[in-house]
Amino acid sequence: MAKEKVVLAYSGGLDTSVILKWLANRGLEVICFVGDIGQHEDFDAIKKKALATGASKVYVVDLKKEFVTDFIFPALKCNALYEGRYLLGTSLARPLLSKAQIAVASKEGAKYVSHGSTGKGNDQVRFELSYFALDPKIKVIAPWKDKDFLNQFKGRDDLIAFAKKYGIPVKASVSKPYSEDENLMHISHEAGILEDPLLRPAEDVFSRTTSLQKAPDKETMLEIYFKDGIPIKVVDKTNKVTKTDPLGLFMHLNKVGSENGIGRLDMVENRYIGIKSRGVYETPGATILWTAHRDLEGLAMDREVMHIRDMLTQKFSELVYNGFWFSPEMDFLMNAFDKSQEAIDGMVKVALYKGNVMTVGRESDRKLYDQKFSSMHEEGGFNTEDSKGFISVSAIRLKAHYVALGEKDPYAWRSKKAKK
Amino acid sequence: MAKEKVVLAYSGGLDTSVILKWLANRGLEVICFVGDIGQHEDFDAIKKKALATGASKVYVVDLKKEFVTDFIFPALKCNALYEGRYLLGTSLARPLLSKAQIAVASKEGAKYVSHGSTGKGNDQVRFELSYFALDPKIKVIAPWKDKDFLNQFKGRDDLIAFAKKYGIPVKASVSKPYSEDENLMHISHEAGILEDPLLRPAEDVFSRTTSLQKAPDKETMLEIYFKDGIPIKVVDKTNKVTKTDPLGLFMHLNKVGSENGIGRLDMVENRYIGIKSRGVYETPGATILWTAHRDLEGLAMDREVMHIRDMLTQKFSELVYNGFWFSPEMDFLMNAFDKSQEAIDGMVKVALYKGNVMTVGRESDRKLYDQKFSSMHEEGGFNTEDSKGFISVSAIRLKAHYVALGEKDPYAWRSKKAKK
Amino acid sequence: MAKEKVVLAYSGGLDTSVILKWLANRGLEVICFVGDIGQHEDFDAIKKKALATGASKVYVVDLKKEFVTDFIFPALKCNALYEGRYLLGTSLARPLLSKAQIAVASKEGAKYVSHGSTGKGNDQVRFELSYFALDPKIKVIAPWKDKDFLNQFKGRDDLIAFAKKYGIPVKASVSKPYSEDENLMHISHEAGILEDPLLRPAEDVFSRTTSLQKAPDKETMLEIYFKDGIPIKVVDKTNKVTKTDPLGLFMHLNKVGSENGIGRLDMVENRYIGIKSRGVYETPGATILWTAHRDLEGLAMDREVMHIRDMLTQKFSELVYNGFWFSPEMDFLMNAFDKSQEAIDGMVKVALYKGNVMTVGRESDRKLYDQKFSSMHEEGGFNTEDSKGFISVSAIRLKAHYVALGEKDPYAWRSKKAKK
Amino acid sequence: MAKEKVVLAYSGGLDTSVILKWLANRGLEVICFVGDIGQHEDFDAIKKKALATGASKVYVVDLKKEFVTDFIFPALKCNALYEGRYLLGTSLARPLLSKAQIAVASKEGAKYVSHGSTGKGNDQVRFELSYFALDPKIKVIAPWKDKDFLNQFKGRDDLIAFAKKYGIPVKASVSKPYSEDENLMHISHEAGILEDPLLRPAEDVFSRTTSLQKAPDKETMLEIYFKDGIPIKVVDKTNKVTKTDPLGLFMHLNKVGSENGIGRLDMVENRYIGIKSRGVYETPGATILWTAHRDLEGLAMDREVMHIRDMLTQKFSELVYNGFWFSPEMDFLMNAFDKSQEAIDGMVKVALYKGNVMTVGRESDRKLYDQKFSSMHEEGGFNTEDSKGFISVSAIRLKAHYVALGEKDPYAWRSKKAKK
C-alpha cells in the first residue's frame, strides 16, 4: 500500500530537518515545501539537504511578488499596525506560506501538512487557521505539540543527537542567543536573552538596518506615487533610480530604508495566546510606505471615511496578528478598504535621514485640497458668518448639560482628580 | 450708567490690539485676559500695551502647571493622536484658555467675552464651545465673524492704519509669511506659503527643535517613571538631571527633545469646519512622553483593555480636536481612561537621537510579564497541547464558511483583484 | 430679462402654498415639485392648487418604487435603527425627495430650490445636505430661516391672512394639535401636545395601525424570502397572497402589519440639532422586514462579520438620521454592507399577532447551520477535548491579571459598589 | 492521608448525580454546591439526594438577590443584548454560580471544582473562565470532556445503568425532547427537536409565559422609577402593588410579565465555540426593565454619551456571552457604564399587553428636556438662522467630494446596483 503523504514546511534548519526524518520514520512520505518570501537562504542547498534527509520531493516556490501585491499592499491600504506600532511583518507572511503549502498538498493529494512552530507562539495559530480555512479536511501534524515528539526531544541536545544518528548535517556555528524570523518585509528578533524587557538589544542584533550613527549624513529624497492606495512608482532622486514594478519598488525601498536605519522597533506586545512577548523588529521599506501612504490619505481622503476606516484598521490589525487572514470577516474588511482607496492617487515626497521618514510634500489630482475649491469658498460656498451658526448649534447640547446638572461647573471633578 | 464689560483674550499682537480699541470704541469696558501657557512673551510689555490701548484692567494668568496636569496628562493617558499623527498641542490649550477667561468674566461680572480667532479655523470652535459649556449665558463677540468689523478691516493695511490712528505701536519687523501658535507643548506653523502642500518648509521655519543634522551625535538617555499612567519622575542619565514635578519634568523633556530634534511633523489634516489644512508642528517633550507611555502600556496593560481603550482613543482625539473638551462625552471617556491606567506603573528607558525616540527597555511592578507568572506556565497553567484545542475551536467557523460557500476557495477574489 | 427659476418642494398645504406665492412675489418663476413617496394625497388637486397659486409648472413624480429599492432596502441590509429603536422612516425619505427635486432643478436650469421645513428640526438638514451633495452650486431658499419671511409671518394667523388675500384656499377643518409626516414606510406624529413626554398619545393619534385590542385574534402567517439580504418574495399563508415585486411585497407587508397593529413606537430621541424630541411612529411593514431579516442573518451570516457589521450599523443609522445619505462615508458603508449580504439567502416564517412580530422558523441554503457540517464535526473536526485547550488558553490572561493585582479578588469593588 | 476535595456544581439531576458518584469512586471527597438563582426546585430534596449519593457535605446558597443587584442590574445599565436580541439570561447566571462555587472551594480548601456542562456549549466556557479568573490555581474536572468518563458513558442508557447500580434514584417521567435552563431571569429551551431551525416550538414548550392568546385582554399599567440607571421602585397601577427592594420588584415584574406573555424569543445565535445554535427564551421581567430603561435614557442621557456607550454595549454583550464576566476588560466597561448612568433618574410609564411592552410616558428631574431650557432657546440661545450656518459648514465636505470626483453624480453607482 502506498504511504500516506505529508507536506512539511521546511526551512533547512535543525528543527525541521529532524522533523522531516521523524515523520519519515513514522512511515509517511515526506514532501518538503520551501516558500521563498525573501529570506536570505541558499535554496539549492536547502533542497539538497531535504532530499538527503529523506524527502521524496521538494517544492521551492517563489512567493516574493505575491507577498508584496496580495499581502503587504492590502495591509498598507488601511495602514495596519498592531497595538499602535508593529507592522505585522511575520503575521502577513504566514498565511501566504500556508496557502502555498496547501496548494502543494492539494496537487500531491497529501492528507497531512506539518510545520515546525512551537505551541506557545503566534505562528502555529496563523499557519493552522490558514490551513483549515483553505482546506477544512486537511490534517495537521505539529510535532512541537505532539506528546511523543516532546517526550523524545526534550532539548536542543536531543535534536543534535538525533541529527547525528541520521547523518543530518548540523551547523558548527554557535547559534544566536535569541531567535529570528526573516522575510522580504522585515526581520524579527525575540526570545532568549531578549525576553528581559529591560535589556537593550546590542547593536549586533540588528542585521537589516544600518545603525543610526553610521547611516549617511545626508538625506535620501524619494518621490512615491500611488494609484488607488497602491504604490506604482518610486523615484529615488538621490540615487537616480526609478522603479515601477511592485517587487522592484518594494525592494528598492528596503535598500534605501536599510541604508538609512529606518524601521527599528522594540516593544512588548500581546500574543493571541494570552502571553506578553518582547519583540525587536526591523522593517525598512514598509515603514517608508506606511508613512507615505497615510500622508497621501491626509490630502486625498474624505475626513469621515478616514475616521470610520481608522476604527476598522485596528480590528484588521488584530485579525492579521491573530491569524485570521483567510476568514469571512477579512473579506468584509478588505472589500471595505478597497472602496476607501478608490481615489488615493498622487505623490508623496519623503526624506530619509538616520532613522527618520519625513513626509515633506505631497500632491494629488483628487481635488479635496486645491485652488479651485478654495476659490469656490470665496464665492460664497463658505462665509465666516456660517461658523457662528455652526458653533451655536453645536453648543446647544453642552448648554443643556450645564443646566441639567444644576448650573454649576459640571467639570470640576476633573481638576480635583488631577490634583490628587 | 456703567458700561457693559467684555473680557478679551489678548495676545499683544496687532489683531487683538485693534480689536481691543474697536471694542472700546463701541462703548464697552474692555478687560484683557492674557493666559500664560508657556509661549515666549514679555508679559509685562503686553500688559502695558493693553492698558495703553484702552483696557481697564489686565489679567495675566499663569496656566502652565494646569496645562500639564489637567490637559496634557489626560491626553497622554490614552495616547491621543488626531488622524494618527497630530499630538493636539493647540487643541489642548484652547479649552484651558477659555476656562481661565470665563473665570475672569465671572469674577468681573462681564456679559461678554471676545477672541481674535478667524471664522475658518478650528480655534474659534474650541474657544466658543468651551465658553458655552462653562457658562451657557455668556455672549461672544468674535470680530472676525462680525460684518461691521469685516467691512471696516478688509486686510492687514486697514489694521495698520487703524493702529496708527489710535497710537497703537506696530512692530516694524516684517511678519513671517505664515502664522504660528506656540505654547508649552508645541509650536505650529501653517497658512500663507505653507498652504502649498508640496512645498517643503525651509529649515528656518522650525524654531522649537534643532535640525536633525545639527543635533548631537550621541544619544541622550532618559528613564521615565510612571504611576497610574502619569509621569512622576524623569531621570536624564546623560545630563545628570532628575525632575519630579509635573511642570519641571515636562519642561526638561521639552529641552532635551528640542536639542535632539524630536517631534517634527508635517501633515495635511481635516479641520472640524470641513476644510483640509496643512500643518507643520514641533512637539518635542510630548512626543517623548507619548512614546514612553505607550511602551509601558505594552508591558503593564491587559490586552483586551488596551484594544477597547484604543478604539476610544480615536474618538477622544476627534473630540479634543473639534473643541469638545468640556462635554459630557469627555467626562465619560476620561473616567474610562482613568480606570485603564490604574496599574500603569513602571519605568521606560528612552534613547533620543537625531529625531528618534527609541524605547530600549522597560520594567513594571505589574506582574503581567514576569518570572513568577512565566514559571506558573511551566507548572501546567499552560501546556502546548492546549494550543491544539484553542486552534481547533477557533477554526470551526472558518471551516463552516468554506463548506457554506461550496467547498471551493472562498478567497480567490482577492488575488484576482490584486492582479488587475 | 427672464425670471430666475426656483423649484419648490410643494405639499399642497397652507405653508408651502404661502411660500409659493411669497417666492413668486419676489419675482421668481416658481416650479413646483411634488414627490409621491406613498403619502395619501390627491395629487391632481395638489397640482391644480399649485398652478392656481402661481406655479409656472408642476412636477408630480412617483418615487415609491425607488423609495423601496434604493432607500428602504439598503437600510434593511444593516438593520438600521436610530438610538436602538427608530426605523428612520422620515430620514430615509428626505434624501430621495431632494434627489428628485435637484433633478427637476437641473432639467429646468433653476438656480434655486426651496423647501418649507422649519429651522429647528432634522428635515431642513436632510434636505439641504442632500441638495448640496448632489449640486454644490445650488442656492437654497428656506423661508422659515429667512428674516424677511419670519418678520412677515409670525404665526398661523398671518399665513391664513396672506392666503385669503391671494385667494389661496384654506382648509376649513381644524388642524390636529400635533404635526405628522407620512410616507410609504411610516407615519410620524410629534410636536404640539405630544411635546409633553409624559402624556400618552390618545388612540386616535394612530392612523396607520389598528389598535392592539381591535387587531384580529388569530395569527397572520407569512413566509418571507430573501436573496442577498433583500426580500424577493412574501407568501401570506393566512390570506393566500404572494408578492414578488419590491413595491408590491412592501405594500402587502404594510397592509398586514397595519391590520395586526405592528410597528408602534413612542420615544424621546436626540435631534442632530442638539435638541431632544418626542416622536410617535407607526412603521408596520418595515418592522416586519427588519425582524425577519435579522433573524435570517442569525442563520446565514458569519459571527465575526455580523459583529463588525453591527458596530457599523450604529454609525450608518446616525448618518441617515443626520442627513448624510449622500456622502462619501455612506458610499463606504453601503459598499461594505453589500459584501456582508452576499449569502443572506433563505426564508423566514413570521407570525403576526396583536403588535407582535414573531420569527418562528427559518431556513437557508447557506450551509453555516446544517446536517452536513454537523456530521463533519463528528468526524473529528470538533472534539470536546479541544474545548479544554480553548478555555485554558483563553484563561491565561485572566490568571495573569489575578496574579498581577496581588493574588486577591480583583473584582471585589463591583459588589461593594452594587451594595451602596 | 486525607482525600483530596472537589466541589461539584450539583443540580440533583441524573448527570450530576452520576458525576458525583463517579468522582467519589475516583477517591475524591465530593462536596456539593447548589446555587439557588431562582430555579424552581426542592432544595431540601436535592440536598438529601446528594448526601445519599455520597457527598460529604452540601452547600445550598441563596444567590437570588446578588443575581439581581450584581449581575442583572449591571447588564441593564448598558441595555446589554447579544446579537441584537438575546438578553443573556443564562450568560449572566454562570459567573455568579462560579463565584459562589469558588467561595465554597476556598472555604473547604478544595483543590478541585467540577461541573456537568458539555464540551460543545457556552456554559463550560463561562464556568471555567470564571473559576480561573477568581482562583488561578484551581483545578477543573469536567467529566464531559474527560476521555475516561466519555468512554464509560456513551449515552443516556449508560448513565441510567450506572445510577441503578449505585442506587441513585432516576425519575420515571419521560424527559423533554429538548433541554432547558432556568433561573430568576429567564428560562431557555434548546437542543433536541429544537435544533431544527424551521420547526416552530409547540405552545407547551413555553413554561414561563402565558400564551399571547390567553393573556389578559386589558393592559397592565406600571410606573418604574430609576436612580442612577437602577430600578428603585415599581408601582403596578393595575394590581395596586408597590415594590422597592431589588429582588421584590424584579420578581413582581416577572409575575406581570409572565401573565402578559412578555419576553418570548426564538433565534439562531452564534456560540463562542464557533457553532450556530437555536435558542428559545422566555425573559419576562427583564424584557420590561430593558425597555423602560432605554426609554428613560432617551430623556435623560446626553446624545454623544449614549452613542459612544451604545458602541461599547455590543462589546459588553459579547464578553458576557463568551464568559468574560470576571476580566479586566469588564472592569473597564462597567466603570465606564457607571459614569454614564449618573443622572439616569426618573420614571417610565409602561403598558403591558399580550406580549407588548409599550413605553407610553416618561419624566425625569434631569433637565435635558424641559420647559426652562426650551425657553432659554427662545431668548436667543438658539435661533433658526444659526441652522443655516450649521448646515453650510456641514456641507463643505460634501461639496468638495462632488468637485473632487469630477462634478458628476458620485452616487450613481448605488441606483445601478439596486436595479441589478
- Enumerate the active-site residues of A: 15, 94, 123, 179
- Can you tell me the mean pLDDT for B343-360? 97
CB contact under 8 A, D368 and A404: yes
Distance from the D207 Cα atom to the nearest Cα atom in chain B, whole angstroms: 33
CB nearest B381 (choices: C388, C394, C396): C396
Q: Quick check: A379 and C137 in contact, CB under 8 A?
A: no
Residue D154, SS3 per DSSP: coil
- Can you tell me the mean pLDDT for C86-91? 98
Write the pLDDT tens digit of every residue in B121-164. 999 999 999 999 999 999 999 999 999 999 999 988 999 999 99
CB-based contact (8 Å) between A126 and chain C? no
Look at the block and give the residue holding cell 453555516.
C368
CB-based contact (8 Å) between B391 and chain D? no
CB contact under 8 A, B385 and A354: no
State the pLDDT confidence band at A415, using cuts at 50, 70 and 90. Answer: confident
Give the pLDDT confidence score for residue C193 in this predicted structure: 92
CB nearest B390 (choices: C383, C390, C403): C390
Write the pLDDT tens digit of every residue in A264-307. 999 999 999 888 999 999 999 999 999 999 999 999 999 999 99
DSSP state of C353: E
CB-based contact (8 Å) between C273 and chain A? yes
Could you give the CA distance from residue B65 to residue B248 in angstroms, rounded to a whole number? 9
- Can you tell me the mean pLDDT for B413-419? 81
Q: Which residue of A has its CA nearest to D400?
A: A368
CB-based contact (8 Å) between D376 and chain B? yes
Count CB neighbours of A172 within 10 A. Answer: 5
pLDDT at A165 over 90: yes
Q: Cα dist. A193→A198, B167, C416, D308 in Å?
A: 10, 71, 44, 43
Q: Which residue of A has its CA nearest to B136?
A: A399
- How many beta-carbon pairs below 8 A join chains A and C? 72
Over chain D (420 residues), the average pLDDT of each successive run of 10 is: 93 96 98 97 97 98 98 98 98 98 98 94 95 94 94 92 94 80 97 94 97 97 98 98 98 98 97 92 98 97 97 98 96 97 96 98 80 43 79 88 81 81
CA angle, corner A154, sides to A149 and A155, nearest 5? 120
Q: Quick check: C70 and C96 in contact, CB under 8 A?
A: yes
Q: Is the dihedral of CA C102, C107, C109, C114 positive or negative?
A: negative
Between A235 and B171, whose confidence is greater?
A235
Closest CA to D140 of B389, C395, B388, C382: C395
Contacts of residue B27, defined as CB under 8 A and 6 or more positions apart, other chains included, come to B3, B4
CB contact under 8 A, B401 and C368: yes
CB-based contact (8 Å) between A403 and chain D? yes
Please give the distance of CA A284 from its chain centroid, rounded to a whole number: 12
> β-pairing, D230-236 with D356-363?
unpaired
A102-111, C2-11, C408-417, D350-359: range with lowest mean pLDDT: C408-417
* B356 bridge partner residues: B353
CB nearest B328 (choices: A328, A382, A401): A401
CB contact under 8 A, A274 and C335: no
Q: Which of C128, C320, C339 to mutate to test the interface with A (most CBs of A within 10 A)?
A: C339
Strands, E assignment, A283-406: 346-353, 356-363
CB-based contact (8 Å) between C270 and chain B? no
Contact list in D for residue C402 (CB cut-off 8 A) is 133-136
CB-based contact (8 Å) between B311 and chain C? no
Residue D379, SS3 per DSSP: helix
Give the pLDDT confidence score for residue C148 in this predicted structure: 94
pLDDT at A372 over 50: no
Q: What percent of chain B has pLDDT over 90?
A: 81
| Whether D42 is catalytic | no
Q: Which residue of A has its CA nearest to B303?
A: A270
Could you give the CA distance from residue B288 to residue B231 in angstroms, rounded to a whole number? 11
Contact list in B for residue C387 (CB cut-off 8 A) is 389, 393
Give the pLDDT confidence score for residue D105 in this predicted structure: 98
pLDDT at C238 over 60: yes
Give the pLDDT confidence score for residue B239 in this predicted structure: 98
CB-based contact (8 Å) between B344 and chain D? no
Look at the block and give the residue holding cell 525541521.
A16
Q: Is the ipTM, as predicted for this complex, more than 0.85?
A: yes
- How many beta-carbon pairs below 8 A join chains B and C? 88
Every domain of chain B and the residues it spans: 5-174, 180-301+343-363, 371-419
CB-based contact (8 Å) between B419 and chain C? no
CB-based contact (8 Å) between A311 and chain B? yes
CB nearest A125 (choices: B201, B356, B391): B391
Distance from the C373 Cα atom to the nearest Cα atom in chain D, whole angstroms: 10
Distance from the D326 Cα atom to the nearest Cα atom in chain A, whole angstroms: 16
Closest CA to A210 of A252, A291, A249, A264: A264
CB-based contact (8 Å) between A334 and chain C? no
Between C381 and C148, whose confidence is greater?
C148
State the pLDDT confidence band at A420, using cuts at 50, 70 and 90. Answer: low
- How many beta-carbon pairs below 8 A join chains A and B? 269
Could you give the CA distance from residue A162 to residue B356 in angstroms, rounded to a whole number? 47
CB contact under 8 A, B275 and D396: yes
How many residues make up chain C in this entry? Answer: 420
Q: Quick check: D30 and D23 in contact, CB under 8 A?
A: yes
Could you give the CA distance from residue B256 to residue B342 in angstroms, rounded to a whole number? 29
Count CB neighbours of C137 within 10 A. Answer: 14
How much is the pTM?
Answer: 0.96
pLDDT at A229 over 50: yes
Distance from the C236 Cα atom to the nearest Cα atom in chain D, whole angstroms: 17
Give the pLDDT confidence score for residue C409 in this predicted structure: 82
| Whether D370 is catalytic | no
- Looking at chain C from residue 150 to 179, which residues have their Cβ under 8 Å from any Cβ of chain D? 150
CB contact under 8 A, C310 and D66: no
Element (H, E) at D225: strand D220-227
CB contact under 8 A, D385 and C147: yes
Distance from the D33 Cα atom to the nearest Cα atom in chain C, whole angstroms: 20
Q: What is the CA radius of gyration of chain D?
A: 26
CATH of A180-301+343-363, one of 3.90.1260.10, 3.30.70.260, 3.20.20.140, 3.30.450.20: 3.90.1260.10
Between A118 and A208, whose confidence is greater?
A208
State the pLDDT confidence band at B372, using cuts at 50, 70 and 90. Answer: very low
Mean predicted lDDT score pLDDT of chain B = 93
Could you give the CA distance from residue C261 to residue C219 in angstroms, rounded to a whole number? 12
State the pLDDT confidence band at B371, using cuts at 50, 70 and 90. Answer: very low
**Topology adopted by domain A5-174:** Rossmann fold (3.40.50)
Distance from the A221 Cα atom to the nearest Cα atom in chain D, whole angstroms: 29
